[in-house]
Amino acid sequence: MQVKMIFWQALTPVHPGTGQDSSSVIDLPVAREAATKFPVIPASSLKGVLRDGREDEGANRIFGSLEKAAELTLTDARVLFLPVRSYAGTFAFLTCPLVLERLGRDQKALGLPGLQAPIPTPQQTEALLPQESEIVHNGQVILEDIDLTAKPGAVNDLAKELGQRVFGPEAAYFQKRFALVSNDVFSYFCETALEIIARVRLNSDSKTVERGGLWYEEAIPAETVFSSFAIGTDGFEELDRSFIQLGGQASVGRGLLRRLGGGV
Amino acid sequence: MYEEAYKRWKATLEDAIWLEATTRAPLAIGLGNSSPLENGLALHHTYGVPYLPGSALKGLLRRAAARYGLSEPEKEVLLGEGPDPKQKKPGNAAYLVYWDGWLHPDSKSPFQKDVITVHHPDYYGTRGKAWPTDFDDPNPVAFLSVRPGVKFHIPITCPAENAQDWPHKAAELLAWALEHLGLGGKTNAGYGYFAVKLPERPKGDREQALELLESYRARIEKIKPRNERQELDFFLRELADKPPTVRKPVLEAIKKHLQDWKIWNPGNPQHARIQELLDI
């Protein structure tokens, strides 16, 4: 049995829809974890796209058939870093202790080395940053409608380790935007700072909106980084793709993900 | 930072058909989006730069398709088809992907301050009950638009293999629509028109075949009984490694020429070879 950690990054907004009415203003919400309300890409979406409709013997072996279960197991792709618009530095890569502790726990359970760097606990009003940061404005990190006190130098080792593991040679671009915030602040942005896209359907002749032709879609914004595991005896080469497209609204360009470094 | 993201995005979609669209007029797209000003503009959620939403491009293409009178099967491939509950048809998704058009990083400061002035607010507000007069207070509304001369790159892809004619067709239609129908709001006031550079379309087999035939036509006409042998040698050598669909019209023309001269004879080894190539 082999285990691999896989990181994906959204290059365009991703819409892993629920297909269900949210009974809120948003007509088409994205899938979320039931307990945390963090957005998530269900493993079934990933697996379906990787299989790509193939029904041959090889695909049946790796992805399963009615007779036999799959040899390759994929887990849900969870949000690792959420991009949130920042007053300075365009956007910040946010994460919180809960996300990192869960990741470490899963890594340990699957026999992978966990994070070496300590994970400090930020206060509600703090953003813990590495020494070199681009998202600080007058001692504050201003994200959407929340202002946090910047604590530069509080997560140097963590930023370095995460950058190297997830982004490899592109680590610097990540580190200068990285911020560790409290679980509550992260949850708040997961629920309120996703991209909301208004869509209309126009009447071709009059160029005005048709009755009932206005709806709101939610999407996980471009730049979001997801982590997932692949577990199994075979078929890991199926994951060796530089990019995939998944989720809803594909024909208008949603759901382009690139595979990041990966490895252990 | 945006430049890096742009490069990454571009590299990922390198197999796409790329349109380069430059604004010839101001662009006001996403006027209804929420914004600190009164009118919005379609700005990328993460990077804050203007962009052309893929859904707007696809919608524009749908309008162009209606104008062009495309057939139903063509529309199904290009645009997809919604489910039809009456006939219990499940519908199908489009076969092509219309990605967002991204701002080219060379296009610096793409915004301009714009203003729209409502001259008769009472007339519009009461739906025509109050008369519009010259004594009304004009109400200027400031907003941002994209200035002319800003370059966007639009990729179109088709996930199916060996179907690259479709994205080319879509690209040509979209180019026409961006130049003539306009994208976004206020197209009747001259907003949203582009100058578009299309990628070169690789020549299809048919076009190549016609070109080849054209280049040889005179030489085929000159085949006489006296030089027949060496000429046929030449043609058989030249055409040997051309794809069958490309060489077919030339071979047919030679055969017809020989038949017109009444010297076509399947027993002749050269003639037999021509027939053999035609039958492949």
**Which pLDDT does position A148 carry in this prediction?**
93
Across the A/B interface, how many CB contacts are shorter than 8 Å? 83
% of chain B residues with pLDDT over 90: 1
The more confidently predicted of residues A221 and B171 is: A221
The rounded distance, in Å, linking the Cα atoms of A92 and A143 is 8
Residue A257 pLDDT level (bands cut at 50, 70, 90): very high
Residue range B226-249, pLDDT digits in tens? 788 888 888 888 887 877 777 888
**Residue contact A90–B46, C-beta within 8 A:** yes
**Which pLDDT does position B84 carry in this prediction?**
63
The more confidently predicted of residues B40 and B126 is: B126
- Nearest residue in B to A258, CA atom: B12
* Cα within 13 Å of Cα(A243), Cβ side: 19
Residue range A152-163, pLDDT digits in tens? 988 999 999 999
**Which pLDDT does position A141 carry in this prediction?**
92
Q: Coil, strand or helix: which one is A230?
A: strand
Structure tokens at B135: 């004594």
pLDDT at residue A263 above 50? no
* Element at B19 (helix H, strand E): strand B17-23
Closest CA to B140 of B158, B123, B115: B115
Residue A63's contacts (CB-CB under 8 Å, 6 or more residues apart) are A47, A50, A51, A54, A70, A72, A235
**Which pLDDT does position B85 carry in this prediction?**
59
Look over chain A and give the mean of its residue pLDDT values, rounded to a whole number.
Answer: 88
Listed by number, the residues of chain A in 9-28 with a beta carbon closer than 8 Å to a beta carbon of chain B are 11-13
pLDDT at residue A264 above 60? no
**Residue contact A256–B63, C-beta within 8 A:** no
**Which pLDDT does position A22 carry in this prediction?**
67
Could you tell me if A207 lies within 8 Å of chain B, comparing CB atoms?
A: yes
Average pLDDT over residues B65-72: 79
Residue range A126-160, pLDDT digits in tens? 999 999 999 999 999 999 989 999 999 889 999 99
Average pLDDT over residues B194-200: 82
Provide the b/e sequence for B213-240 (b: ≥16 CB within 10 Å).
beebeeebeebeeeebeebbeebeeebe
Residue range B207-216, pLDDT digits in tens? 777 888 888 8
Tell me the backbone φ, ψ of residue A127, rounded to 5 degrees: -125, 115
* Element at A191 (helix H, strand E): helix A183-192
The rounded distance, in Å, linking the Cα atoms of B199 and B267 is 49
Question: Which of A11, A84, A241 has the highest number of chain B CBs within 10 A, making it the mutation to test binding with B?
Answer: A11
Candidates B46, B59, B80; nearest CB to A202? B59
pLDDT at residue B13 above 90? no
- Nearest residue in B to A134, CA atom: B1
Residue B118 φ/ψ region, left for φ over 0, alpha for ψ in the -120 to 50 degree band, beta for the rest: beta
Nearest-Cα distance to chain B for A200, in Å, is 9
pLDDT at residue A19 above 50? yes
Look over chain B and give the mean of its residue pLDDT values, rounded to a whole number.
Answer: 82
Question: Which of A194, A251, A256, A259 has the highest number of chain B CBs within 10 A, making it the mutation to test binding with B?
Answer: A251
Q: Are strands A91-95 and A77-85 parallel, antiparallel or unpaired?
A: antiparallel
ipTM above 0.90, yes or no: no
Q: Coil, strand or helix: which one is A54?
A: coil
pLDDT at residue B205 above 80? no
pLDDT at residue B89 above 70? no
Average pLDDT over residues B194-215: 78
**Which pLDDT does position B116 carry in this prediction?**
84
Task: Kindly list the residues from chain B whose CB atom is less than 8 angstroms away from the CB atom of residue A251.
Answer: 54, 58, 80, 93-94, 96-98
- Alpha-carbon dihedral sign for residues A220, A224, A228, A230: positive
**Residue contact A90–B32, C-beta within 8 A:** no
Residue range A79-90, pLDDT digits in tens? 999 999 999 989
The rounded distance, in Å, linking the Cα atoms of A157 and A117 is 6
Q: Are strands B17-23 and A40-41 parallel, antiparallel or unpaired?
A: unpaired
Candidates A11, A85, A252; nearest CB to B8? A11
**Residue contact B59–A207, C-beta within 8 A:** no
**Which pLDDT does position A92 carry in this prediction?**
94
**Which pLDDT does position B87 carry in this prediction?**
64
**Which pLDDT does position A96 carry in this prediction?**
94
Residue A33's identity, in one-letter code, is E
Could you tell me if A221 lies within 8 Å of chain B, comparing CB atoms?
A: yes
**Which pLDDT does position A52 carry in this prediction?**
84
Tell me the backbone φ, ψ of residue A149, rounded to 5 degrees: -80, 125
Q: Coil, strand or helix: which one is B44?
A: coil
The rounded distance, in Å, linking the Cα atoms of A68 and B106 is 54
**Which pLDDT does position B234 carry in this prediction?**
84
The rounded distance, in Å, linking the Cα atoms of B127 and B122 is 8
